[in-house]
Amino acid sequence: MSTGGNPRPVLRKQIIQGDNARILETLPSAFAELIYIDPPFNSGRTQRLKRLRVKADPEGKRRGFGGRKYRVEQVGESSYADRFDDYAGFLLPRIEASLRCLTADGSLFVHLDSREVHYVKVALDALFGRASFMNEIIWAYDFGGRPKTSWPKKHDSILWYARNPKKYVFDYDAIDRIPYMAPGLVGPEKAQRGKTPTDVWWQTIVPTNGRERTGYATQKPLAILERLVRVHTRPGATVLDYFAGSGTTGEAAARHGRGFVLIDQSADATRVMAERLEKYTPELVGFDAPLPHQRLPRLARSSS
C-alpha cells in the first residue's frame, strides 16, 4: 500500500543497560505515551535466576512428550537483591524524574504488591494530585503455596495515574472481551460477545513450561501488558519501562505496533531482552548483543 509519499515514522526501539536514575536524565522529554514499571517489590528475598540446560538422555529423570527422557543441568545462576530499607526513597525520585518523559495525555502504571502499594499510593497522590489517580487494578492469580496461618496472598496491585485526568488515552474499543460468569442470564448475543473486564484482572502467572517463559525472575504475563498497551496508547506511540526485566513491556508494545524504551541495570536482564526482542531489531545501548555461546538455555526461577 502506498503511504502517499509520507514514509511511516520509524518506531523507537531501544534496550538500555544502566541504573535508571542516571539513564532517565538522558532521555528526551514527552516521548512516552505510557510508562509501566514493575520495580523490585522489597520482598526481602534474593530473586535468583538459574540457567538450566535440558538434554535428551535415556537415563534422565524428566519425562517429556512421547515418553522421551531428559537430563536437566544447571549451567549458571545470577540474582538481584530485593531489599530496601527506604523503598519510597528509592522509588519516588525515579518516578518523579520519569514524568518529564511522559506526553501531556500519557499515563503511568506502577506494579506493586500488598507490602508497598499503600505507601507508594500516598506518595503518588501527593506527586500527581489525587484527581490523577484513575484505578487500582488488581491482578489476581492462583498459583503456589497456601499457608494455613493467613489468607494466601494471590494478587498484585497496578496503580494507574493519568498525567491529566481530563485528557488521557483510553481506547475503550480496544479492550478485549472476557466470558460472562453466567452467560445463560444475558442472552446469546451478549454471551457471544463477552464482557469488558473490571479493575480485577484474573490472569494466570507465566506458566513454567509455556512458550512465553524466559525464566527471568519475576517475569510478568504478556496478556496484562498487551491489554495496557492496546488501551492506553495509540498505534505508533512509544512505551517506557525503566525496570524492564525480561522485556515483557517491549514485547507487548512491539506486537501492537508501538515503540519501546526498556531500561535495566542487570546484564542478565538486558541479555534476556536482547534475545527475546531480537526479531524487532532493537538498538542496544550500553551493552553488546549476546554472543552465540551466551545465548540463553532454558531458565528457571527461585527466590530465597
Ligand X SMILES: C[S@@+](CC[C@H](N)C(=O)[O-])C[C@H]1O[C@@H](n2cnc3c(N)ncnc32)[C@H](O)[C@@H]1O
Q: Which parts of this chain interact with ligand X (CB under 6 A)?
A: 19-20, 38-40, 80, 216, 218-220, 243, 245-246, 248, 263-266, 269
Write the DSSP string, 177-226. PB--SSGGGT-HHHHHH-B---SEEE-PPPPTTSTT----TTPPPHHHHH
Alpha helices in the chain (DSSP H): 20-24, 87-98, 117-128, 188-193, 222-232, 248-255, 267-276
- Name the residue nearer to ligand X (CB basis): 201 or 243: 243
- Name the residue nearer to ligand X (CB basis): 94 or 195: 94
* 236 torsion bin: left (phi>0), alpha (psi -120 to 50), beta (else): left
Nearest position to ligand X, beta carbon: 245
- Name the residue nearer to ligand X (CB basis): 157 or 266: 266
Distance in Å, CB of 47 to ligand X, minimum: 7
- Name the residue nearer to ligand X (CB basis): 98 or 266: 266
Distance in Å, CB of 154 to ligand X, minimum: 17
For cell 488515552, the residue is: 169
- Name the residue nearer to ligand X (CB basis): 106 or 215: 215
Strand order in the sheet with 200-202: 200-202, 133-140, 155-162, 102-112, 32-37, 238-241, 259-264, 13-17, 283-285
- Name the residue nearer to ligand X (CB basis): 114 or 196: 114
Distance in Å, CB of 151 to ligand X, minimum: 23
Distance in Å, CB of 304 to ligand X, minimum: 16
25 vs 39: CA distance, rounded Å: 18
The answer to whether 197 and 181 are in contact (CB under 8 A) is: no
Residues in a beta bridge with 244: none
Distance in Å, CB of 30 to ligand X, minimum: 22
- Name the residue nearer to ligand X (CB basis): 286 or 297: 286
Distance in Å, CB of 264 to ligand X, minimum: 4
Distance in Å, CB of 201 to ligand X, minimum: 15
Phi, psi of 68 (to 5 degrees): -65, 150
Rounded alpha-carbon distances, angstroms, from residue 224 to 36, 42, 214, 219, 248: 11, 22, 16, 11, 9
